[in-house]
Structure 1
Amino acid sequence: MSSSKDIIKDDVVSSSDTPYQSNQSDTTPKQSIGSSFINSFKRLEFDESLLTPDMTEAEKIEVRLAHTPLQRSLKQRHLQMISIGSSVGTGLFVGSGSALRTGGAASLPIAWSIVGTFLFAVIHALGELAVTYPTPGAFSAYATKFIDPSWGFAMGWNYVFLWLVVLPLEVIAASLTIQFWNESINPVAWVVIFYVLIMTINLFGVKGYGEAEFIFSLIKVVAIIGFLILGIVLVCGGGPSGGFVGGKYYHDPGAFTHGFKGFCSVLVVASYALGGSELIGVTAAETKNPRKSLPSAIKQVFWRLMLFYLGGLTLVSLLVKATDKRLLSSSSADASASPFVIAIKNGGIKGLPSVMNVVILISVLSVGNSAVYGCSRTLTSLAAQGLAPSIFGYIDRMGRPIFGIALNGISGLLCFIVANRKIQNEVFTWLLAICGLCIIFTWLTISICHVRFRLAMKAQGRSLRDLAFTSHAGFWGSVYAIVLMILVLIAQFWISLFPIGGQPNARAFFENYIGFPVFFALYFGRKLWTRKFWEFTPLNQINLDSGRKDVDTDLLRQELDEEKEYIKSRPFWYRTYRFWC
């Protein structure tokens, strides 16, 4: 077997630091495009010589994770847009309408601000871990390393199942969004088009995903900035309908509806609407230079999300009545129920509602695209850890986790139940219920891993100067995030058990909270299956070096000191920008 620095010609995509090889020699004659395409699906074999007999099983897992042959093709511009686009979707454009209705105008900016505070800590904690350990699957691998493999198993599979359900759901949503213009065309026709489009994008590998997300997210960003400008004009009475709006809807029907319980429901919606922000951590394994690219993307994701969400939703709360009957639609793809569309219509502007519907359509496709990416990479990580069938560790010469993508394609076929709307609603209600708490568990896991990481560093006498990037929120920021997320879980339990305007109902409770027992069933189920009831690694025994990107800490310190000196020499505005962005 040739060394990992050999370059496989023509049809093989390799990396100078990736110890995976094809089975062909470098003297293979140039092949036709067809043959090259077929051969691109062949597997890159792992160089077993990297594993030594004295390694523990955990260390072998770290080596496999660190040398997974995914392409490092994502650039800074891709990361910037992925960090924004992965969480800006129907949760903002349509789902915020139900939050406005149940919680009232003031609940929107307040709830999103509270969620934003702990999201800041979560994203920065993830950034610190991802820059230090840029592994595929990110948080699943961190859970195995810093908590225990059963927690990594439960969290990883819960996350995988979430994206497996989201893909067909978003394809259906995209097809139904078209009905804003034309209801006569059978939605199945659009389902076929969108399903093929999303799967084709992901067959182009990480470059295809990155470029598609760059375009999708750019459109969303431009649309939101446009709405922010338009919204200010409308609030001030500059629309065709005229009339100063100001804060009149905070007085009639009032700032809050359904009291504190209504506010708690918005808090829960806000938590799930920002789901997908954590995908920036998954991209670490496919980024050219994580130490240079990730910190900036991590820092900017929070500020941009808060600008778009807080800015947009504050304007929506001023422009749309919480009692507006158009907010009553139950369809997550119904653009007519979008408070953004309603705000534009209330302003008397024609044509723009259709533009906003295009943005909603693109947002839906973007989330579907991210579903395939996030799911397939998490499966790769689980397979490398021995927590999923080894077939999902298969990565071809283009760096594609092809069997993970194939599983997404199979689950995506559920989108064809759009032909039967009654069955469709029932099926997806329960499928989403199973993984309904996944986002909170994922963020909670990231924060716990960060706390354990910091405690392990302290226990082993390590310095924070050994880290290329440190969380601005720090250790206590992650503790704060853990406490807040536990409170969100309690709030979710309360409103699930005692729904707004209704009596306790078993069906309603399990639709909203069945994800809790499912998660712990996976956790304890694996422990019973493996009969390994104590895999919790003591802080002083956690291997902080295995899987690290920057092993030479002396060189890293020197580079960081040089960077700090350069930043100190720059003007105040530049130093401020670099610190926060």
Structure 2
Amino acid sequence: MSSNSHDNDEKGESTISVLQNITSGSSSPNTTTIDTNNNSNNESQGVWTSFLDSFKPVIPGETLTSMHVDDDKSLTNLQRINLNSANSNLKRKLKTRHLQMISIGSSIGSGLLVGSGGALSTGGPAGVMIGWIVMASCVYATMQGLGELAVTFPISGGFNVYASRFLEPAIGFAIGWNYFMQFFVLLPLELVACSITIKYWNHDINSIVFVIIFWVCIVFITLLGVKGYGESEFIFSMVKIVAILGFIILGVVLICGGGPNHTFVGGKFWRTPGPFAFGFKGVATTFVTAAFSYGGTEMIGLTAAETENPRKTLPKAIKQVFWRIALFYIISLTLVCTLVGYNDDRLIGASSVDATASPFVIAIVNGGIRGLPSVMNAVILISVLSVGNASVYATSRSLNSLAEQGMAPKWTGYVDRAGRPLFAILLTDAFGLFALIVASNKQVEAFDWLLALSGLSSVFTWLAINLSHIRFRRAMHVQGRSLNELSYVSQAGVWGSYYGALINILVLIAQFWIAVFPIGEAPSAYNFFLSYLGFPVLITSWLFYKIWKKDWTPFIRAKDIDVDAGRANIDLDLLQQEIAEEKAQLAEKSFIVRWYRFWC
């Protein structure tokens, strides 16, 4: 073993000793003794009593808590962030199949199925393909960097904590709250989308009735805990995947003239009205829509703290992003752009809550197939419910992480015995009732401004992940650490994160241009802030933290970055031995198996 490895062992041991001293001898978070006792007690008490008890505070000594960390005045803010996030009370109950389905289906929602219609009307078919392919490459590179960080540091909060510890806490504060706001406002928006989707079958139904019904369904699922979320997303994702695969097969048939109309479509919509709707500016408008549709891919980073075996399950889930992008997005959108012209009147004014403007539905209607549009709308309804469910998961885990870092009220970080960030979940569910504004004639304006607060959140989050990965690699280099310590290394490498950062910056520039000079409208402050309000909100959040904590450090120097707290594997000798054995076993497999394992 090299001297660097011995140094690493010493650093790992010192981190553990700090934790043990702070918690005054509390047991390791990996202990299972308490859980076993709880299970036997639960059986004797009955299901209902066990359910009620699950909402109580975590039993002292069951896991490391933040109480002693917060009271220790000798620790800096950054040290508290690192220690608290590394020792969360969240439960590791997500299995491999949960993560794989979450990675495949978490972002197949209204952004792809409905929002792509608006992008098609402004960018044209070529603009849509350029926007989604460019953002796909960006997301792939970003997710690889996130995978490396999440497998190495499977901690509560994921990417907002990475921004705090590898960049500086004020950036983590701004990114964390911006991400929270993105999904916080998404729940009522998706509930409204559900009620509007129902109107596809009956316009006389009162929207409020279905807002309440869908809200109750989501509240029920979210209170089941992380395992309930995993199981529900597994089912939702299966439905979405089957539907997209079915549409791909149907699309090929319709293009070749195999539909009831027997009309050969070919590439006529690419010729007339043409590939581009509004030239380069139209193409620029597709990037943010594409980013919105890919939003949710980074949610795998939030699941790291609740995954049974992060080293083995997270890499598989991360790699699945490539297949989702290649198959479900690019192929399906290619077919949609071939079957629907960008000048179709039904696309005009398309929004993310209007399922009737879905280009997927329009393509099926144009093909003359009866019944299938209703099926596609049912899929959209399920997808919207899935996104609403995922939004509660994202906001509750983000808020819990912010509380652990001392960036949100401490009570919002309450985690019960079932591992639920209970108050964060209830707060998010309660705000979902804002969807009752659907009864008001001001609902469009209200939601427009709510979305404007975090409209660029996905881009900011991905940029923070890129920069965090770059700084982590820089810290490893400066501190003389080897990549052999990592159980998963980004396939795109550090240059992939540089590429992802560049694309995200270019998207922000393009969106600024569109915000100042919108298509078909005169420049106005109203349109600018509606499109770009997220940026001043992010800057204001960053500045607020700087003033609040009186910490004006521009960034954390590479030599001072903590690359040990929260590490999944401290015993580097054992880790490297396991990796070597796995590589030796894989080398004996056929080329097809090795190729599959590399990508999946």
Shorter chain as denominator, the TM-score bin is: over 0.9
Indicate whether 1:7 and 2:33 are aligned.
yes
Shift of 1:2: 7.2
2:133 to 113, 119, 132: 113
Using the aligned pairs only, state the percent identity: 53
Shift of 1:10: 8.3
Determine helix, strand or coil for the equivalent of 2:297: coil
Indicate whether 1:364 and 2:395 are aligned.
no
1:294 to 314, 325, 328: 314
2:50 to 23, 36, 40: 36
Letter in 2 for 1:499: P
CA shift digits 1:76-131 (9 cap, x unpaired):
11111111222110111111111111111111222111111111110000000000
Indicate whether 1:260 and 2:265 are aligned.
no
Pick closer, same or farther for the CA change 1:75–1:194 going to 2, 3 Å: same
In the alignment, the residues of structure 2 paired with residue 491 and residue 117 of structure 1 have an alpha-carbon distance, to the nearest angstrom, of 17
Determine helix, strand or coil for the equivalent of 2:33: coil
Write the mapping of 1:20-169 to structure 2, written as runs, cut at 5 A.
Answer: 30-44=44-58, 45=60, 47=64, 57-169=77-189
370-379 or 102-111, larger mean C-alpha shift: 102-111
Indicate whether 1:316 and 2:336 are aligned.
yes
In the alignment, the residues of structure 1 paired with residue 41 and residue 48 of structure 2 have an alpha-carbon distance, to the nearest angstrom, of 19
In the alignment, the residues of structure 2 paired with residue 500 and residue 41 of structure 1 have an alpha-carbon distance, to the nearest angstrom, of 51
1:179 to 199, 211, 217: 199
In the alignment, the residues of structure 1 paired with residue 562 and residue 251 of structure 2 have an alpha-carbon distance, to the nearest angstrom, of 52
In the alignment, the residues of structure 2 paired with residue 266 and residue 29 of structure 1 have an alpha-carbon distance, to the nearest angstrom, of 54
Where does residue 411 of structure 1 map in the other structure?
A: 431
Shift of 1:3: 4.0
Determine helix, strand or coil for the equivalent of 1:395: coil
Contact 1:496 1:512 in 2 (8 A): yes
In the alignment, the residues of structure 1 paired with residue 335 and residue 27 of structure 2 have an alpha-carbon distance, to the nearest angstrom, of 58
CA shift digits 1:461-508 (9 cap, x unpaired):
111111011111111110111111110000000011101112111111
In the alignment, the residues of structure 2 paired with residue 289 and residue 518 of structure 1 have an alpha-carbon distance, to the nearest angstrom, of 37
Determine helix, strand or coil for the equivalent of 1:431: helix
CA shift digits 1:241-266 (9 cap, x unpaired):
11221111111001111110001001
Where does residue 291 of structure 2 map in the other structure?
A: 271
2:442 to 423, 428, 433: 423
CA shift digits 1:301-326 (9 cap, x unpaired):
12222311100000011111111111
Where does residue 188 of structure 1 map in the other structure?
A: 208
In the alignment, the residues of structure 2 paired with residue 9 and residue 320 of structure 1 have an alpha-carbon distance, to the nearest angstrom, of 55
Pick closer, same or farther for the CA change 1:120–1:242 going to 2, 3 Å: same
Letter in 2 for 1:212: S
Where does residue 507 of structure 2 map in the other structure?
A: 488
Shift of 1:376: 0.5
Where does residue 418 of structure 2 map in the other structure?
A: 398
Name the count of aligned residue pairs. 568
Where does residue 550 of structure 1 map in the other structure?
A: 569
Where does residue 548 of structure 2 map in the other structure?
A: 529
Where does residue 505 of structure 1 map in the other structure?
A: 524
In the alignment, the residues of structure 1 paired with residue 541 and residue 150 of structure 2 have an alpha-carbon distance, to the nearest angstrom, of 25
In the alignment, the residues of structure 1 paired with residue 337 and residue 182 of structure 2 have an alpha-carbon distance, to the nearest angstrom, of 30
Letter in 2 for 1:269: T
Where does residue 591 of structure 2 map in the other structure?
A: 572
In the alignment, the residues of structure 2 paired with residue 197 and residue 371 of structure 1 have an alpha-carbon distance, to the nearest angstrom, of 14
Contact 2:131 2:283 in 1 (8 A): yes
Pick closer, same or farther for the CA change 1:103–1:53 going to 2, 3 Å: closer
Determine helix, strand or coil for the equivalent of 1:246: coil
Structure 2: unaligned runs, 5 residues or longer:
1-24
Contact 1:497 1:505 in 2 (8 A): yes
Contact 2:123 2:286 in 1 (8 A): yes
In the alignment, the residues of structure 1 paired with residue 365 and residue 85 of structure 2 have an alpha-carbon distance, to the nearest angstrom, of 51
Contact 1:123 1:302 in 2 (8 A): no
Contact 1:72 1:287 in 2 (8 A): yes
Pick closer, same or farther for the CA change 1:494–1:28 going to 2, 3 Å: closer
Contact 2:193 2:355 in 1 (8 A): no
Contact 1:147 1:536 in 2 (8 A): yes
Where does residue 380 of structure 1 map in the other structure?
A: 400
CA shift digits 1:539-581 (9 cap, x unpaired):
0111111110111111111111111111111111111111111
Shift of 1:12: 4.2
Where does residue 19 of structure 1 map in the other structure?
A: none
Contact 2:147 2:318 in 1 (8 A): yes
Determine helix, strand or coil for the equivalent of 1:241: coil
Shift of 1:333: 3.0
In the alignment, the residues of structure 1 paired with residue 73 and residue 361 of structure 2 have an alpha-carbon distance, to the nearest angstrom, of 62
Shift of 1:60: 3.8
1:346 to 366, 371, 393: 366
483-492 or 409-418, larger mean C-alpha shift: 409-418
CA shift digits 1:402-432 (9 cap, x unpaired):
0110110221110111111x22111111111
Structure 1: unaligned runs, 5 residues or longer:
14-25
Shift of 1:66: 1.9
Letter in 2 for 1:307: L
Contact 2:117 2:350 in 1 (8 A): no
Contact 2:189 2:353 in 1 (8 A): no
In the alignment, the residues of structure 2 paired with residue 347 and residue 186 of structure 1 have an alpha-carbon distance, to the nearest angstrom, of 31
Letter in 1 for 2:597: R
Letter in 1 for 2:550: R
Indicate whether 1:514 and 2:540 are aligned.
no
Shift of 1:235: 0.8
Letter in 1 for 2:227: K
Letter in 1 for 2:150: A
CA shift digits 1:191-229 (9 cap, x unpaired):
111001001101000011001000001000000000011
Shift of 1:184: 1.2
In the alignment, the residues of structure 1 paired with residue 144 and residue 36 of structure 2 have an alpha-carbon distance, to the nearest angstrom, of 40
1:443 to 451, 459, 462: 462
In the alignment, the residues of structure 2 paired with residue 54 and residue 461 of structure 1 have an alpha-carbon distance, to the nearest angstrom, of 28
Indicate whether 1:463 and 2:482 are aligned.
yes
Indicate whether 1:249 and 2:269 are aligned.
yes
Contact 1:135 1:547 in 2 (8 A): yes
Contact 1:10 1:36 in 2 (8 A): no
Contact 1:11 1:36 in 2 (8 A): no
Determine helix, strand or coil for the equivalent of 1:104: helix
Contact 1:111 1:266 in 2 (8 A): yes
In the alignment, the residues of structure 1 paired with residue 107 and residue 577 of structure 2 have an alpha-carbon distance, to the nearest angstrom, of 36
Determine helix, strand or coil for the equivalent of 1:266: helix
Shift of 1:27: 8.2
In the alignment, the residues of structure 2 paired with residue 332 and residue 180 of structure 1 have an alpha-carbon distance, to the nearest angstrom, of 15
Contact 2:467 2:501 in 1 (8 A): yes
Letter in 2 for 1:367: V
Determine helix, strand or coil for the equivalent of 1:180: coil
Shift of 1:335: 2.4
1:563 to 553, 563, 582: 582
Q: Scaled by the length of structure 1, what TM-score is found? A: 0.94
Where does residue 209 of structure 1 map in the other structure?
A: 229
Letter in 2 for 1:536: F
